């Protein structure tokens, strides 16, 4: 019986441990970057990654007839193809005119989806953020220490029938960013 409990505990430890991935960001010299500040961290995104994403969208969106299904971000969920096309044209026009300017974002501030200023890029940045984080292509600064993060972990959380990535500081357990906050409609209940 003791061996069985030990075996079950070892298997549980393995399953829990295998669900997380330790990521070490690449030592990439970021010449031209976008600063994206969330509550616990500042993500430093290479503008070339954003440029590559927009070039990809230039091809994918017309092929898919500007379907909202190209995006996972909840903000696109209620758009029809004409609205997706209009929003993308506004965002790509802003990007083309401002990609050589300093860009900085802060999720503490309210940004409206249809603004024709720099906040129009936020849904697109949210789209590529999980892949860039998973690939170690983003430099991260911990806001509590103002030091660059050398490693971080990626876990998964199940919400309903979907799995979402969660990125955390190692050792602290503090969450840096979670997909479910961007890719899922947030529901709250109010008790009277």
- Spell out the domain ranges in the chain: 20-183
Closest residue by Cα to residue 22 from 177, 142, 171: 171
Q: How confident is the model at residue 185 (pLDDT cuts 50, 70, 90)?
A: low
Give the pTM.
0.83
Q: How confident is the model at residue 186 (pLDDT cuts 50, 70, 90)?
A: low
pLDDT single digits (tens) 145-174: 999 999 999 999 998 888 999 999 998 789
Q: How far is Cα 142 from Cα 42, in angstroms, rounded to an integer?
A: 7
pLDDT single digits (tens) 82-128: 999 999 999 999 999 999 999 999 887 777 787 778 889 999 999 99
CA-CA-CA-CA dihedral for 104, 106, 110, 112, to nearest 10: 40
Percentage of residues of the chain with pLDDT beyond 70: 85
Q: How confident is the model at residue 17 (pLDDT cuts 50, 70, 90)?
A: very low
What pLDDT, on the 0 to 100 scale, is given for residue 133? 96
What pLDDT, on the 0 to 100 scale, is given for residue 5? 54
Does the pLDDT value for residue 15 go beyond 50? no
DSSP letter string over 115-181? Answer: -SSGGGGHHHHHHHHHHHHHTT-SEEEETTTTEE-S-EEEEEEEETTEEEEEEEETTT--EEEETHH
Say if residue 78 is exposed, middle or buried (CB neighbours under 10 Å; 0-12, 13-18, 19+).
Answer: exposed
Q: How confident is the model at residue 6 (pLDDT cuts 50, 70, 90)?
A: low
What pLDDT, on the 0 to 100 scale, is given for residue 3? 60
């Amino acid at each position: 019986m003791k061996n069985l409990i030990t075996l079950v505990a070892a298997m549980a430890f393995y399953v829990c441990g295998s669900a997380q991935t330790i990521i070490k960001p690449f030592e990439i010299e970021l010449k031209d970057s976008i600063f994206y500040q969330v509550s616990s961290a500042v993500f430093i995104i290479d503008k070339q990654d954003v440029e590559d994403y927009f070039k990809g969208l230039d091809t994918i969106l017309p092929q898919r007839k500007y379907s909202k299904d190209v995006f996972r971000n909840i903000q696109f969920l209620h758009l029809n193809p004409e609205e997706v096309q209009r929003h993308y044209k506004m965002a790509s026009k802003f990007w083309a005119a401002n990609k050589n300017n300093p860009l900085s974002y802060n999720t503490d501030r309210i940004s409206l989806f249809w603004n024709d200023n720099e906040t129009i890029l936020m849904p697109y940045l949210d789209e590529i953020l999980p892949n860039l984080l998973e690939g170690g292509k983003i430099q991260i600064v911990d806001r509590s220490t103002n030091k660059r993060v050398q490693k971080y972990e990626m876990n998964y959380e199940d919400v309903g029938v979907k799995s979402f990535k969660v990125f955390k500081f190692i050792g602290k357990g503090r969450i840096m960013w979670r997909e479910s906050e961007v890719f899922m409609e947030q529901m709250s209940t109010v008790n009277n």
